[in-house]
Amino acid sequence: MQQNRVAIVTGGASGIGKETAFKFASKGDRVVVADFNVAGGQAVAEQIMANGGKAIFVKTDVSKYEDVEALVEKAVDTYGRIDVMFNNAGIGRVTPVLDQNLNDYHNVIQVNQHGVAYGIIAAGKKMRELGIKGVIINTASVFGFLASPGTFAYHASKGAVIMMTKSAALEMADWGIRVIAVAPGAVDTPIIQGYKDKGMVDSMKSKVMGNKLTLPEQVADTVYLLTLDEASAINGSVVMADEGYAS
């Protein structure tokens, strides 16, 4: 087992990111919790420390490259290295394609697509500079493959995450850096708890085997497994963490 790793988790204040931060910490990794939700992110870092782990919180808006670059610098200044970059922060907006506010469209692309691109670039550059054979994991979605009404921009952003992952993996293999996408299906987190159309949540649930929502802890477990050396053959792949989400 690799020791003394440092893992950055974006969107670490809530849902999948929060549970993944706890998972890494429970395995002895030092965790850098990044989010623009200051209270939530600080609470996660404090809980890790209260349990005897090591963590810091860094306020970060992933849609700004300078924030993501500063996040990576802060991680290295604090802990001396980064082994894992989990580009997970994301947002969803539900509106029919022809009725949507273009600001919403741009925001979804800015956070879900550009935020992941910035994380890949900033962390990849630092890993290459420091000679670290790290792992970059990007949160995609079954919606990167499957269409559903009302989520036009979200599909575009998650499809982009999948192809950015494959493209970056191809080049970063030269430095021993793996880049992987994880694709959850319907996960019980605030992003879908906030859907006003509860019928949409029921419909998503019915597509998961066992008619249930996946727990964020289950996705966190998958992410953790992908970061291990034992997963070294997994690279440039989209790993489904969707409990069989059907179209």
- Residue ranges in contact with ligand NAI by CB under 6 A: 10-11, 13-17, 35-37, 40, 60-63, 88-91, 111, 115, 139, 141, 184, 186-187, 189-192, 216
CB 48 within 8 A of CB 22: yes
Among 79, 118, 154, 224, which one carries the catalytic annotation? 154
Minimal distance, residue 24 CB to ligand NAI, in Å: 15
Unique residue bearing structure tokens 């549970």: 19
Q: Residue 28 and residue 129: Cα distance in Å, rounded?
A: 25
Minimal distance, residue 187 CB to ligand NAI, in Å: 4
Count of Cβ atoms closer than 10 Å to residue 223 Cβ: 27
Q: Residue 225 and residue 126: Cα distance in Å, rounded?
A: 23
- In terms of CB distance, is 66 or 129 closer to ligand NAI? 66
* Residue closest to 10 by CA, chosen among 26, 28, 32: 32
Minimal distance, residue 205 CB to ligand NAI, in Å: 10
- In terms of CB distance, is 176 or 190 closer to ligand NAI? 190
Question: Which structure tokens are listed for 179?
Answer: 């880049």
Annotated active-site residue 224? The verdict is no
Question: Which structure tokens are listed for 14?
Answer: 């809530």
Unique residue bearing structure tokens 């950055």: 8
- Edge to edge, the sheet with strand 30-35 lists 55-59, 30-35, 6-10, 84-87, 135-139, 178-184, 238-241
Q: Residue 35 and residue 90: Cα distance in Å, rounded?
A: 10
Q: Residue 154 and residue 158: Cα distance in Å, rounded?
A: 6
- In terms of CB distance, is 10 or 165 closer to ligand NAI? 10
Residues noted as catalytic: 154
